[in-house]
Amino acid sequence: MKQTRQFMKRSAALLLALALCLSLSVSALAAEQQEEKSLEETAREAAAAAMTYGEAASISWAVWNGKIVEQGALAANGGAAATDGVYCIGSVSKMYTTAAVMRLAQDGKLDLDKPVTTYLPDFKMADGRYKDITVRMLLNHSSGLMGSSMGSGLLFDDSSTQATDQLLERLSRQRLKADPGAYSVYCNDGFTLAELVAEAVSGQELMDYVRTTFLNPAGLTHTYAPGDEFGGQAPIYHAGDDRPLPMDCLGVVGTGGIYATAEDLAVFGGWLAGPGELNEASLEAMAQPEYQKGLWPDEDAPDALAFGLGWDSVEWFPFHQNGITALVKGGDTQYYHAALVVLPEHNMTAAVLSSGGVSTYNEMAASQMLIAALREKGVTVDETAPALPEAKPAAMPEELLENAGYYGSLLPYKVDLTKDGTLTMGYLGMEVPPQTFTYHDDGTFRDQTGTALLKFVKESNGQTYLYQRAFSQLPGLGGLGTSNYAAVKLPENPVSPELQAQWDAFVNHTSLLPMNERYSSQVYLAISGAPATETVTETAPGYEGALKIAGENRLEYVVQIPGNVGRDGSDTELRRDEKGVLWTYSSNGTVCMEESAVPDLSTGKDNRARCTIQPDGYARWYGVGDNAAGKTMTVQLPENAGFWVYDGDMKLTASSVLWGDRSAELPEDGLLVFAGDPGAVFQLTFQ
C-alpha cells in the first residue's frame, strides 16, 4: 500500500525510493459481465485499463506462446507509443538473478542450501545468525535481513553500482530482524546478495553471465543493464511536470535495474515456462510454494503474494483456482512498472511494462491477456470471485477484548474493541476515517458490506496478528485477492513520559536532510515538496511509528510480519557532533542532518565563492539567506557532481541533474545542495 505517513519528514523520501515491489489494495467494485473478445481486443482494453487506473504515461505489452502472438503499445491521451519501447523492469530483474543462481546450482557450482558465507566469505553482520542464511533464503525472501540497504541506488542517468558495491559494508553493521528461515518477507538486499553470489561463483558480472547463458541463445538483443549503450527508452515524468526526466538508473541491477522491451521480457519468460537452459527440476523448484516453509496465514484464499524462488506468487488468481499453475513477478521503480506472468503448463507468457502506473494493475492486465489466449485454444478460466465463508453476527467472547491495542506494519494502527462485538481500526497519524467491523459467529469481524473480514490469530511465535481477507474487482482487469497478516500487535514498551515527549518532539518538529546520497540520486527529487513539519495526534506508547523507543538516542525496528508490510526495516540512532548538530544514522546506511543546522550560503566579497565536497563525501546543504535571495547563481560544475535548488516550500526550482541547469535564481528562504565525489569543487558566481 502506498499510503504511508512520512515518519521522519523529508528523510522518509529515502524509504519511498526503496519500494521495488508494490502491494496494492483496491476498492471493491461490482463485476461486469464481459463478452468474449479476441486476444487482440482483450490485450488492448486490459492495457488501457491498467494505464488508466495507474495514471501511466505509456504502456507496452507482449504475449508469447512459442512465439510472440500479440503485442502493442499505448500512450496517455490516445498518443502513439512504440511497441519496441525499452522500459526498466524493476524487480522483475530478480527473475534474471534467480535464473542465474539456479543455472549455477544446476551445473553443480553452488548448493542452494549451503550458507551464503560459503560463496561470499567477506559477508559478515553484527548478528551471529547471519551464518545460517542460505542461498535459498535469499531467493525466497526468508533470510531475516532488514530489507533494503540501497542508498545511492536509485539514480538519474548514472550507471554507478555504488549501492551494490557497498552492500557488504552496510550489512556488516546490521542485525537481523528475524531468524533466518522464520518467514518470507519481501527483501531487496537478499537479491543483491544473490547477485554477488552469482558473480563470485561464475567469475562474471551478472549481466555478462545472463547474456551468455540466457539472452544470446534466445536471440534477445533488447535487454540491457543501465551501463549499456541503448536507446528507445520510454520517457518518464515527475508528477505534475510534462518535462521528460533523465534515464531511470538502478545501481542494484540484479535486484531491480534491468531494462527490456515487452517482447524480450515475454520471450525470456518463455525460458521459465519449460525446459531449456534451465531443466525441469530447476523450474519445478522455482515454482514450489516456498512461503509455506515459515510463518504464514493458514488460509485457503487468494492473495497477491505466495513466494516461490524469485516469484512473487506461484498461486496467482484466477489460474490457481482453475488448476492452472501461474507464476508471477512484478516490479516497481519510482517511474517504471512491470509485470511478467508465466503459465508453464500451457507454454504461455505475458509481459506488460509501463511508464508510470502500478505493477499490480499490469499483472492483472497480463492475466486478462493470457485468459483470452487460453480461451482461443478452448481452455476456459473461471474468474468467479471467491465469497467469504458464510457467517452471522453473534455475541463476542469477552476474552477477545485483550486483543485491543496498538498494531504495527508499514504504519501503526490502533484497534479498539467493545463488548458488543464492534472492532474499530484506524491509522495513527493519518487523516483517514477509522473502519468499523462487527463480530460474527465464525470468529471474524466483518465490514458493513460483508466483503472484507478481519480476525485475530495467535501464531506459533507467540505474537498476535491481525489477519485480513477481501476480494476486489476492477472492470477490465478482473479480480485481486487479499489474504494476509495486515499487522502484528506491538509488544508493550513502557518508557517515561519525558522520553516519550522527547521523541514525539523530534519526530513532529525536526526536519532532516539526506547527507550521503549520490549527486544523481532520485531522493533529491523525491523530497521536493515534502512538508517541513507534521503533526501526529497519537502514537503507540513507547513507539514512534512502528519503531520501538530503545533509549534517548535509539529507535529499533521490531515488526515481524510475512509478506510485504513487514519489509524494509531499519534501526535509527541520533548523534550530536562536536558542534551540537543533530545527525541520524539508520542501519540501512542512510545518514541525515537536521535542517536547522544548515548555514546560509555566502556570496563572497566579490560575488564569487566556492564549495568543496569534503573527504567524507557528504552533500553540502545551504540556506538562501537575505544576502543571497533574489540573486542569480552561476555554477562551474566539476565532474561527477550536481546541484539542486528548492524554494521555501521545498519545491525543486533548478537542477543540473534533471534539466542541465548551470545557473539558478535563488528563492527567498530556499535551500540548495551540492553533491559529488570527495574533493569536487564548485565555482560559484552571483549576480
Instruction: List, for residues 107-124, the tens digit of each pLDDT value.
Output: 999 999 999 999 999 999
Q: Which of 108, 118, 180 is nearest to 144 (CA)?
A: 180
What is residue 500's three-state secondary structure?
A: helix
Q: Where are the beta strands (DSSP E) in 587-679?
A: 591-594, 608-612, 620-623, 632-636, 641-646, 652-655, 663-665, 671-676
Q: Label residue 229 by pLDDT band (50, 70, 90).
A: very high
- If you ran DSSP here, which 8-state letter would residue 521 be given? B
d(CA 535, CA 549): 19
Q: Label residue 14 by pLDDT band (50, 70, 90).
A: very low
Asked whether residue 576 carries a pLDDT value surpassing 70, the answer given is yes
d(CA 466, CA 295): 14
CA-CA distances (angstroms) from residue 318 to 44, 84, 304, 483, 493? 20, 29, 11, 14, 43
Q: Label residue 180 by pLDDT band (50, 70, 90).
A: very high
Q: Label residue 9 by pLDDT band (50, 70, 90).
A: very low
Residue 629, exposed/middle/buried by CB under 10 A (0-12, 13-18, 19+)?
A: middle
Asked whether residue 354 carries a pLDDT value surpassing 90, the answer given is yes
For residue 439, the one-letter residue type is Y
Bridge partners, 646 (sequence order): 652, 671
pLDDT at 410: 86
pLDDT in tens, 637-658: 999 999 999 999 999 999 999 9
CA-CA distances (angstroms) from residue 360 to 18, 59, 287, 433? 17, 14, 20, 25
pLDDT in tens, 262-289: 999 999 999 999 999 999 999 999 999 9
pLDDT at 178: 97
Q: Where are the alpha helices (DSSP H) in 262-393?
A: 262-271, 280-286, 359-376
Q: Label residue 22 by pLDDT band (50, 70, 90).
A: very low
- Grid cell locating 462: 507467540
d(CA 103, CA 23): 29
User: b/e map of 427-455 (b: 16 or more CB within 10 Å)?
Assistant: bbbeeeeebebbbbeeebbbbeeebbbbb
Describe the strand order of the beta sheet including 641-646 as a list of residue ranges.
620-623, 671-676, 641-646, 652-655
pLDDT in tens, 300-309: 999 999 999 9
Q: Which of 18, 4, 48 is nearest to 476 (CA)?
A: 48
Check if the beta carbon of residue 95 is closer than 8 Å to that of residue 310: yes
What is residue 466's three-state secondary structure?
A: strand
Q: Label residue 231 by pLDDT band (50, 70, 90).
A: very high
Q: Which of 299, 300, 265, 269 is nearest to 286 (CA)?
A: 269
Q: What is the mean pLDDT of the chain?
A: 93
Asked whether residue 352 carries a pLDDT value surpassing 60, the answer given is yes
Give 383-417 as a DSSP string: -PPPPPPP--B-PPPGGGGGG-EEEESSSEEEEEE
pLDDT at 240: 87
Q: Count of alpha carbons within 13 Å of 530, Cβ hemisphere only?
A: 24
Q: Label residue 1 by pLDDT band (50, 70, 90).
A: very low
At the topology level, CATH places domain 38-376 in Beta-lactamase (3.40.710)
CA-CA distances (angstroms) from residue 419 to 52, 399, 543? 44, 10, 27
Q: Label residue 532 by pLDDT band (50, 70, 90).
A: low
What is residue 441's three-state secondary structure?
A: coil
pLDDT at 648: 95
Q: Which of 59, 174, 157, 13 is nearest to 531 (CA)?
A: 13
Indicate the angle between helix axes 188-202 and 93-106, nearest 10 degrees. 40
Bridge partners, 417 (sequence order): 423
d(CA 427, CA 407): 9
State the sign of the Cα–Cα–Cα–Cα dihedral 220, 226, 229, 233.
Answer: positive
d(CA 276, CA 220): 15
pLDDT at 77: 78
Rounded to an integer, the average pLDDT of 495-507 is 95
User: b/e map of 584-609 (b: 16 or more CB within 10 Å)?
Assistant: bbbbbbbbbbbbeebeebebeeeeeb
Rounded to an integer, the average pLDDT of 578-596 is 96
| C-alpha 186, offset from chain centre | 9
Asked whether residue 10 carries a pLDDT value surpassing 80, the answer given is no
Asked whether residue 223 carries a pLDDT value surpassing 60, the answer given is yes
Asked whether residue 129 carries a pLDDT value surpassing 60, the answer given is yes
The alpha carbons of the chain give a radius of gyration, in whole angstroms, of 25
CA-CA distances (angstroms) from residue 170 to 177, 227, 518, 589? 15, 24, 16, 6
Asked whether residue 491 carries a pLDDT value surpassing 90, the answer given is yes
pLDDT in tens, 406-461: 999 988 999 999 999 999 999 887 778 899 999 999 999 999 999 999 999 999 99
Asked whether residue 5 carries a pLDDT value surpassing 70, the answer given is no
Rounded to an integer, the average pLDDT of 492-506 is 96
Describe the strand order of the beta sheet including 547-549 as a list of residue ranges.
512-514, 591-594, 582-586, 572-576, 554-557, 547-549, 543-544
Residue 159, exposed/middle/buried by CB under 10 A (0-12, 13-18, 19+)?
A: middle
- If you ran DSSP here, which 8-state letter would residue 300 be given? -
Q: Label residue 4 by pLDDT band (50, 70, 90).
A: very low
- Those residues with Cβ within 8 angstroms of residue 387's Cβ, 6 or more apart along the chain or in another chain: none
Q: Is 483 left (phi over 0), alpha (psi -120 to 50) or beta?
A: beta
What is residue 684's three-state secondary structure?
A: strand
pLDDT in tens, 379-400: 999 999 999 999 999 999 999 9
pLDDT at 306: 98
What percent of the chain shows pLDDT beyond 70? Answer: 94
CA-CA distances (angstroms) from residue 152 to 251, 398, 516, 518, 675? 8, 51, 8, 5, 12
Q: Label residue 401 by pLDDT band (50, 70, 90).
A: very high
Asked whether residue 536 carries a pLDDT value surpassing 80, the answer given is no
pLDDT at 21: 35
pTM over 0.85: yes
pLDDT at 24: 39
Q: Cell 492473495 sits at which residue?
A: 303
Q: Cell 543455472 sits at which residue?
A: 103
DSSP H/E element including 204: none
Per-domain boundaries in the chain: 38-376, 398-489, 608-686
pLDDT in tens, 600-620: 999 998 999 999 999 999 999
